[in-house]
Chains A and B, each alone.
Chain A
Amino acid sequence: MKLFKIRGGVHPEGRKELAAKQSIETPPLPHLLHIPLQQHIGATASPAVRRGQRVAKGDLLAAGQGTISAPVHAPTSGRIMGVGSYPAHHASGLSVPTITLQPDGEDRWSDRIQGVEDPFSLDAEAIAARVDAAGIVGLGGATFPSAVKLNLRRKFRLQTLVINGSECEPYLTCDDRLMCEQPDAILDGVRIMAHALGVTQLIVGIEDNKPEAIAAMTVAAAGSDPAIRIAPLPSRYPMGSEKHLVQTLTGRETPARGLTADIGIVVHNPATAFAVHQALRYGYPLVSRVVTVSGGAIARPGNLRVLLGTRVQDLLDHCGGLTEEPVRLISGGPMMGQPLPSTRVPMVKGSNGLLALSASETRRRAPMPCIRCASCVQACPCGLVPLEMAAQIRVGNLETAVGLGLMDCIGCGSCAYVCPGHIPLVQFFNYAKGEMATRGRAKQKQTETKRLAEQRTARLEALKRAKREAMARRKREAAAKQKAEAAALAAKPAREAEQTLTET
């Protein structure tokens, strides 16, 4: 298949060999599960269970709220220990609404779980509804509710479904293993999604550092649907960036600030396709995901099918613990993942990796001044000038940085990866993006306040005017009355005088 060139990118050390040969294993049931109510982009789900309630595996724990949201289900059977808050799977370590479930060890599915005999007989709405009800979100890490993406056909004219099996982050092998072990299930999910989207072109892009997955998927594709094309991609970070992947495969560029749907293409992750297959064929909601546990400080790296809500510590224990104290504990890949505050936090729908990195792997150095070497300019897949943006942000010129394209930055970290000065460029950009968002909110609040204040003044003015008018009217009426009375009074003596005059 003909591929197209994209600009920039880097070749980070893959380190995938640590876990690439490890089959997906299922760790024993943990003692407690902490299931956050927000494991997706959008509104937090609302709890549907009480403390002390018994639930079966797959029962609804919290229902989605509004158009962009996702429900959360019980990962195993057990008893609800509490509906409260617990440290989030997030760098901040702040507590978020979480349901705590004590497994009963039976791992018994709910009786209500029921699959569909032939998903292809369902219409698009019904498929999307089932995907929504199963709580499926983008499992590549973005965690955008998948049903919303399946409904894009309402707004856009779509022709292609791309499956993003590039897995370009170093260390991560969870999609690789899933494609090796479950190619038929994934492709079934892909075909169901394509049916829902109403598209005819199906492309699965896989980086060529995963030959086993490419082979397995190619065989499976030949057996299921010849329309599915398996495209080996050059291994280059950030190949998994949706817009760059689409351009590599189709040669078409997504307009800035737009969606790939603008050019008729929807992108999903293979793990999401697998989840769709499970939800449609068997009725299973999303209660587990494959996670790569790896890094130089992990005794036994591997790929685990993890129940959502399992604590990080349980995964580390299952993988033989730590061989040394890691300098970084990361959720996701080393390029775009985020540091975790402690090993207490639970795994969530979006966590595709758990990395414990040693000092030799992170290669941290103290930042030096920029020498304008422009390595970052060459590495940027978005055509930005990171050194210039960082320099502007450093002196507080955030607006200038926005003018230089800050909002077109995808935060892939290619620039910081190659910087010889070890300048934390992504940190600068994240700070500026956050600050701009805060300013935007403040500005919105200000205009809203101003609008309300103006409305209030207008209202008060109107009230005052009405009062004044009423007063004036009353005054006029009173004056008129007085005048009439005075006239009457004046008329009386005159009449009397007249009378006197005639009498005399």
Chain B
Amino acid sequence: MRIESPAAQAGPFAHQPVSIPRTMGLVMLALLPATLFGLWQFGWPAVYLFLVTVTAALLAEALCLRIAGKPVRPFLMDGSALLTGWLLALTLPPWAPWWIGLVGSLIAIVIAKQVFGGIGQNLFNPAMVARVALLIAFPLEMTSFVTPAPLFAGHAPDPLEALAITFGGQGIDAFSGATLLGQVRTELGQGHDLTAILPGLFAPLSGALGTVTGSLGETSALLILLGGLFLLAKRVITWQVPVAMLGTIALLAAGMHLYDPAAYAGPIYHLVSGATLLGAFFIATDLVTSPVSARGRLIFGAGCGLLVYVIRTWTAYPEGVAFAVLLMNASTPLIDHYVKPRIYGRDRKGRPIESGDDAQVRP
């Protein structure tokens, strides 16, 4: 009988049926409902943009791996590049031109991920780095939203017209619309009273269902929530980040809304609009760039929530999830350094605990 070199490895010699491709696959599965909904509701241009973005991410990954001299197949097949491209696509304006997806994927994979050393090494969430870079470099394209034009609907562009929109640079003025966050920001800037304008702009039900203007995959709060709960049930993510982030946003919004309803919208508005839910369940929970301890994750989530609210409310940008997540990513190493679980038999400072007075060592 031949037995493998015994010195090869210490135990355990059993393993949970888990792997990195499985983890990534579960996240993609969780994203699927919201993605399909977004693709349906924004039609062929969204489909093209999505395909361009994920293909570019995969190509960029393969190229980088080749240059770095790493094995291409196992790393390309781990699903991380596909997921990055996928997440990025979901945060883009659905009818953005193809090169937005291409440039975004290159930034995400090359600059934010591979330059740092590849999977597991990046400090910042690649999809959010790309989104922020695009927003700053191409503010016009990144804020040109459209009203929903579902696949096969009469007024929606057919596949050929869509080609012209995504690849031909054809204008989309006929369909253009503004996101709720953007509209409210504009109206507030003009000195309008929120209690007067909000009922006309915001219907909680359609916001929850997602039949509103917005980024490709961010509109349907319910489907994203469904995916998030799936990830929680599958133990891919833990509850701390989403609960802390959503809780902080809700608390701040409720507090400020009570303080002045005319200037500050309530918690439901903040929770279902923009990238709040996608951010809380899929972006802030990114395993690589968030803290590893439970308490650290609570701090991280709360920080994200606080920053989202502050950016949305008091800065020049109507939406702040990407900025908030990146800022908190930067503080992840700090959080991990200071916030660690308590070691068994030691106190929080690392000193051995007292053994108690009923069992002293005999003299």
Contacts and interface: CB of A to CB of B under 8 A. Distances in A.
B4 interface: yes
Interface residues of A, number: 85
A253 B344 contact: yes
B344 A262 contact: no
A119 B226 CA distance: 66
Interface string B200-223: 000000000000000000000000
A374 B287 contact: yes
Contacts of A342: 3
Interface in A259-309: 261-264
Given A159-B359, A341-B6, A343-B1, A385 B292 contact: yes
A156 B359 contact: yes
Interface in A373-411: 373-375, 377-378, 380-385, 387-388, 405, 408, 411
A264 B8 CA distance: 40
B13 interface: yes
Nearest to B353: A255
A327 interface: yes
B287 A373 contact: yes
Nearest to A256: B345
B173 interface: no
Contacts of B354: 255
B12 A416 contact: yes
B74 A366 contact: yes
A218 to B, nearest CB: 28
A370 interface: yes
B15 A384 contact: no
Nearest to A322: B1
A382 B356 contact: no
Contact of B119 (A10, A155, A371): A371
A426 interface: yes
Nearest to B16: A418
B336 A417 contact: no
Interface string B8-25: 111111111111101100
Interface stretch (A34-42, A98-106, A331-339, A495-503): A331-339
A254 B14 contact: no
Interface in B262-307: 287-290, 292-294
B11 A255 contact: no
Contact of A422 (B2, B15, B344): B15
Interface string A316-353: 00000010011111100011111111110000000000
Contacts of B11: 330, 334-338, 413, 416, 426
B345 A255 contact: yes
A335 B340 contact: no
Given A368-B78, A383-B341, A385-B340, A417 B16 contact: yes
B345 A370 contact: no
Listed residue (A244, A343, A369) with the most chain B CB atoms within 10 angstroms of its CB: A369
Listed residue (B8, B345, B354) with the most chain A CB atoms within 10 angstroms of its CB: B345
B355 interface: yes
A91 B12 contact: no
Given A156-B361, A381-B344, A408-B346, A418 B6 contact: no
A363 B336 contact: no
B12 A374 contact: no
A256 B7 CA distance: 30
Contact of A372 (B18, B287, B344, B355): B287
A397 to B, nearest CB: 14
A92 B288 CA distance: 37
Contacts of A200: none
Contact of A256 (B13, B74, B290, B343): B343
A13 interface: yes
Interface in B36-71: none
A498 B151 CA distance: 149
Interface string B248-271: 000000000000000000000000
B21 to A, nearest CB: 9
B6 A258 contact: no
B242 interface: no
A221 B341 CA distance: 40
Contacts of B1: 322, 325-326, 343
Contacts of B120: 369-372, 421
A325 B361 CA distance: 52
A264 B356 CA distance: 10
Listed residue (A256, A357, A419, A430) with the most chain B CB atoms within 10 angstroms of its CB: A256
A47 interface: no
Listed residue (A327, A377, A411, A418) with the most chain B CB atoms within 10 angstroms of its CB: A377
B190 interface: no
B2 A325 contact: yes
B14 A372 contact: no
Interface of A: 7, 10, 12-13, 91-93, 154-159, 170, 243-244, 252-258, 261-264, 322, 325-330, 334-343, 355, 357, 361-366, 368-375, 377-378, 380-385, 387-388, 405, 408, 411, 413, 416-422, 424, 426-427, 430
Interface of B: 1-4, 6-20, 22-23, 74, 78, 80, 118-121, 238, 287-290, 292-294, 336, 340-346, 350, 352-356, 358-362
9 contacts: A255-B346, A255-B354, A339-B3, A357-B13, A361-B14, A372-B120, A375-B18, A383-B346, A413-B10
